[in-house]
Amino acid sequence: MPEEQVREKLRRLPAVDRVLRVPPLPDLLARYPREMVVEAVRRVLERQRDLLRQGGGMPALVALAGQAAEMVEAKTRASLRRVINATGVVLHTNLGRAPLGTEALEAVTAVARGYSSLEMDLATGTRGERYTHVTRLLHALTGAEASLVVNNNAAAVLLVLHTLARGREVVVSRGQLVEIGGSFRIPEVMAASGATLVEVGTTNKTYLRDYEQAIGPQTAALLRVHTSNYRLVGFTRQVPALELAGLGQRYGLPVIEDLGSGLLVDLSPFGIRGEPLVSDSLGAGIDIVTFSGDKLLGGPQAGIILGRQKYLEAMKKNHLLRALRVDKLTLAALEATLRLYLEPGRLAEVPALRMLTAGPEELEARAARLAALLTRALGQAARVGVVNGFSQAGGGSLPGVDLPTFMVQVHLQDIKVEVLATQLRQGEPAVIGRVQKDSLLLDVRTVPEGDFAELVRCFQAAYARAAASAGG
Ligand SMILES: *Cc1c(COP(=O)(O)O)cnc(C)c1O
């Protein structure tokens, strides 16, 4: 049998040129380099040969052309794509942390589309400074004397240490030598800045006298680091900001605090506690604080440095600043986000804050609406329900704080949940949920209602692709 039949089928397989004439390939040939389309057809035919050898049937020409077109499409589509985040992790670092609100987006568009007053003082027509655009806002919101914005918080810490402590020593508690997100480690940033780390205390306990005993002629600063992504619990002690600031004052040394998240407003009315407020640190007498723009602040990726004028002036003169400088799009988004903070009634317009503070009733009602839409869209094929669980702040903020939430649970009768999750990731936009046992969980905390229609459409398309691949 078969041997002869297979050979016959292989002979009947169309040539590359013939497939190239089948729509939609002629259109693709007109748009993309010929070699790219030809290569896709070759690979499709190669795969088809294998299938024929394994006893598969002869496909239609249009099907072969369609597969090649899909391959070209996969190669030419954007790599950085939109994602619907149904994980419930609000500041998901791998998914881009804080989404921007309408005001910030409009500011970015306006500044990006044309020219801007980035480095011009429009009152006098003379040269201005890019760093002044947010100074007044930051002062109003935190009481800080002076400010500087750089590319991210890692850059902020690097610039502060490089300016104030290069070639000298910085005293840090052993309980605060943290690693954030794999690539930011206090000891390594310290080394990169040219400062020498002097560790004091123990992993769980550090006292004021530990810092004091380490102070010597080479000491340039005292550093406090917020242990943003883990909690020290039990038999522990860290020196409060107020005490460390007092010690710095007595010895005439600047005290620096890396706050990580940079909370500007008290979220405890929403049950969110344990994250230090920027104004509290400055109020306690800390000389320089640094934090991220895209964590709890809910703005763009940025590193914000606040503190005493004389230290900030020194940082502005540091040549390293040129390599860490913030761009105009970031400044536009940051300024627009900070302006919302001036009006407490508008804080819900900062998407990250809105998501973090969403209450259980709201989330349950939203989950019920999404469940109803998915039930209607998927019909008999799916079992859809609403379950409760917990979301997380993410982005190395609020560790151990579980936010009660509601999720839509989807179980498909004839498709493995991993296959569904893979197909959802391939969609446009991609949808990322949580896989738990044989179900997919969609946490509505991070999915605004306005995205439901799109999410349902992506779900239907992913289901269809998964069913097609399961069906052979
Ligand atoms: C997140 C974090 C950083 C790094 O901030 P990026 O803005 O991601 O560079 C540094 N220090 C602490 C304590 C953090 O939590």
Domain segments of the chain: what residues? 3-76, 83-93+356-469, 102-349
Mean local confidence (pLDDT), 353-370: 96
pLDDT tens, residue by residue, 17-35: 999 999 999 999 999 999 9
The residue to mutate among 261, 292, 330, having the most atoms of ligand 1 within 8 angstroms of its beta carbon, is 292
Q: Report pTM.
A: 0.92
Average pLDDT over residues 178-191: 85
User: Which residue CA neighbors atom 13 of ligand 1 most closely?
Assistant: 260
* pLDDT above 50: residue 472: no
Report the pocket of ligand 1 as residue ranges, CB < 6 Å: 152-154, 180, 184, 225-226, 228, 258, 260, 292, 303, 396
Residue 85 to residue 454: CA distance in whole angstroms: 12
Atom of ligand 1 nearest to the CA of 293: 7
d(CA 112, CA 106): 10
Spell out the residues 6+ positions from residue 359 whose beta carbon is closer than 8 angstroms to its own.
270
pLDDT of residue 299: 98
Beta pairing class for 255-260 and 219-225: parallel
Question: CA 281 to CA 259: how far, in whole Å?
Answer: 9
Distance of CA 82 from the midpoint of ligand 1 (Å): 24
Distance 289 CA to ligand 1 centre (A): 12
- Secondary structure (DSSP) of 89-131: BTT-GGGTSSPP-HHHHHHHHHHHHS---TTEETTTTEE--GG
Q: What was the pLDDT predicted at 471?
A: 58
Q: Give residue 415 CA to ligand 1 midpoint distance, Å.
A: 40
Residue with tokens 């940079």: 262
Rg value, the chain, Cα: 28
- Note the helical H segments in 54-207: 61-76, 102-113, 135-142, 153-165, 186-193
Atom number, ligand 1, closest to the C-alpha of residue 292: 7
pLDDT in tens, 430-444: 999 999 999 999 999
Ligand 1 mutation pick, 160, 161, 184, max ligand atoms within 8 A of CB: 184
Q: Which CATH number fits domain 83-93+356-469: 3.90.550.10, 3.40.30.20, 3.20.20.70, 3.90.1150.180?
A: 3.90.1150.180
Mean pLDDT of 237-263: 95
Mean pLDDT in residue range 374-393: 94
Summarize pLDDT for 408-457 with one digit per residue, the tens. Answer: 999 998 899 999 999 999 999 999 999 999 999 999 999 999 999 999 99
CATH classification of 102-349 is 3.40.50.720, yes or no? no
Residue 384's closest CA among 443, 333, 439? 439
